[in-house]
Structure 1
Amino acid sequence: MQIIFGIFLPFFGTLLGAAFIYFLKREIRGGYKQCLLGFASGVMVAASVWSLLLPSIELEQRRGAFSFVPAAVGFFLGFLFLIGTDQLVCWMKNRGAELTEDENHWKKNSLLVLAVTIHNIPEGLSVGAAFAGVLSGQPGFTIVSACLLAFGIAVQNLPEGFIVALPFRDRGYSRSRSFVYGMLSGAVEPVASVGMILLTAWLRPLLPYLLAFSAGAMVCVVVEELLPDAVEKGKYHTGTMGFCAGFLLMMILDVALG
């Protein structure tokens, strides 16, 4: 029962974070919107560094001076994947014609959901690896340490669930529908955890690449879709300050709960 609870704990964090969307008004305008977009960007960049890239490098310390290779390869492939997906979405929607405003917002939201969902897969694998160690009786793995890891990821998922639901609410979606989109981005985590427990021998060597791949995908979305809107015609640097706040919050959560 403890293992089942631990596997689902990160998903509950995403669910709770998405629920904060019920406290927002229907439309988000002006500096408030730019601040929230900047905040979301800061959260995603910090998560990419402390939750994904640094762990990817640490897992490959045995390579010595070349421990950066899996992180660099995975990050680059993640960037290429999101850019390719962006081009594919544009082609599928209008067959090469220019996207309308609504279609462009739909594309941005879809890429954001995709990037955060991809980011959640290696986090789920990490939790699964911890519980796989507990089940196999490996030295250094305890049910307490595995549950603490799951709890730390759950806390980090709070702002992530919110930033996925946010753009849907901004486009006029109902609170419930926005909440569902935010919640679904984390549904992949327990699936990935169970997969890791069942297929540890095959998936563990790929984890450094998957972590960095997710980081590349998230940073690509931030640079292409979120930051331009966060700083567009900004007053008083609200988007920039939002980025700073989001980055600091996620950095503190990652380091304190890491």
Structure 2
Amino acid sequence: MNTLIGVMIPLLGTTLGAACVFFLRKELSSLVQKALLGFASGVMVAASVWSLLIPCMDMSEHMGKFAFVPAAVGLLLGIAFLLAMDRAVPHLHMGADKSEGPKTSLKKTTMLVLAVTLHNIPEGMAVGVVFAGMLASSTQITLMGAMALSIGIAIQNFPEGAIISLPLRNEGMSRRRAFSNGFVSGVVEPVAAVITIALAGWIEPVLPYLLSFAAGAMLYVVVEELIPEASEGEHSNIGTIGFAVGFVIMMALDVALG
């Protein structure tokens, strides 16, 4: 039951963020968006380090001075995976005029949702891998540590849900449809988490690699998308401040609850 609650918490964050479309009339200002993007970046970087890479290296202590190998290999594979997905799946980032990936006849709104959905995959994997590690008796990952990651991702999912639903509403889409699109973009997270947990018995031997794989995929999203969007134009320092706040909150959650 605790595991089910844990994997659903991130979706709750996305849902609440998407629900802002029912209470706010206008799209978030650029300053607020920069702050939220920076905040999400900080949360994801801190989660990658404290919730994924450090446990990965702790589980690899038996390798001695080569304990870094699973972390390094998994991280690079996670980055390569998201790079390949970015090229294989047609998607459009908010505020961009040109879509990425293969040419397609999909609607703009569909590609906007695909962009967020694509980047939610590693977050769902991260939650699933951590809970799989918690269920495995051979790891030091605790329930509270796994919950800390879920809560941290849910916090950064709140602005993500708002950032996708409010612009869709501003383009003329009904509030209900804009909310639904924001909600659907987050459904992939619990799905990815549940699939990962269901395979826990088979993945336990390579759990350190999967932890670092999820970290690499999350860091790819931060470096490739979130930080550039938070830094472009004027007042880029707002994104930096948001990053610092998000990083500290996620770090505190993981240390205090883990």
1: distance between equivalents of 2:69 and 2:29? 42
Task: State the AA in 1 paired with 2:118.
Answer: L
Once the two structures are superposed, what CA deviation does each residue of 1:118-167 show, in whole Å capped at 9, x if it has no partner? 2332432332343354xxxx8x99xxx96545533432332243254244
Distance 1:190 1:83, change over 3 A: closer
User: 2:183 corresponds to which residue?
Assistant: 179
1: distance between equivalents of 2:64 and 2:217? 26
How much has 1:111 moved relative to structure 2? 4.8
How much has 1:241 moved relative to structure 2? 0.8
Distance 1:191 1:257, change over 3 A: same
2: distance between equivalents of 1:45 and 1:112? 18
1: distance between equivalents of 2:195 and 2:88? 27
Task: State the AA in 1 paired with 2:194.
Answer: P
Task: State the AA in 2 paired with 1:126.
Answer: V
User: 1:168 corresponds to which residue?
Assistant: 164
SS, match of residue 168 in structure 2: coil
Q: Is the 8 A contact 1:115 1:214 kept in 2?
A: no
User: 1:93 corresponds to which residue?
Assistant: 103
2: distance between equivalents of 1:216 and 1:236? 25
User: 1:106 corresponds to which residue?
Assistant: 111
User: 1:194 corresponds to which residue?
Assistant: 198
User: 1:247 corresponds to which residue?
Assistant: 247
Question: Aligned pairs, how many?
Answer: 235
1: distance between equivalents of 2:130 and 2:241? 32
1: distance between equivalents of 2:145 and 2:126? 13
Task: State the AA in 1 paired with 2:183.
Answer: F
Once the two structures are superposed, what CA deviation does each residue of 1:55-112 show, in whole Å capped at 9, x if it has no partner? 11111011111100011011111112222222233342259xxxx9x58x936x6454
How much has 1:184 moved relative to structure 2? 3.3
In structure 2, stretches of 5+ residues that fail to align are 90-99, 170-177
Q: Is the 8 A contact 1:70 1:212 kept in 2?
A: yes
Q: TM-score, normalised by structure 1?
A: 0.78
2: distance between equivalents of 1:117 and 1:87? 15
How much has 1:209 moved relative to structure 2? 0.9
Q: Is the 8 A contact 2:15 2:182 kept in 1?
A: no
Q: Is the 8 A contact 1:46 1:251 kept in 2?
A: yes
2: distance between equivalents of 1:179 and 1:168? 10
* 1:23 pairs with one of 20, 27, 41: 20
2: distance between equivalents of 1:43 and 1:59? 23
Q: Is the 8 A contact 2:88 2:102 kept in 1?
A: yes
Distance 1:23 1:32, change over 3 A: same
Task: State the AA in 1 paired with 2:151.
Answer: V
Q: What root-mean-square deviation, in Å, do the aligned CA atoms of Structure 1 and Structure 2 show?
A: 2.9
Task: State the AA in 2 paired with 1:40.
Answer: A
Q: Is the 8 A contact 1:164 1:181 kept in 2?
A: no
Distance 1:115 1:30, change over 3 A: closer
Q: Is the 8 A contact 1:71 1:212 kept in 2?
A: yes
Give the percent of matched residue pairs that are identical in Structure 1 and Structure 2: 35
SS, match of residue 93 in structure 1: coil
1: distance between equivalents of 2:45 and 2:124? 14
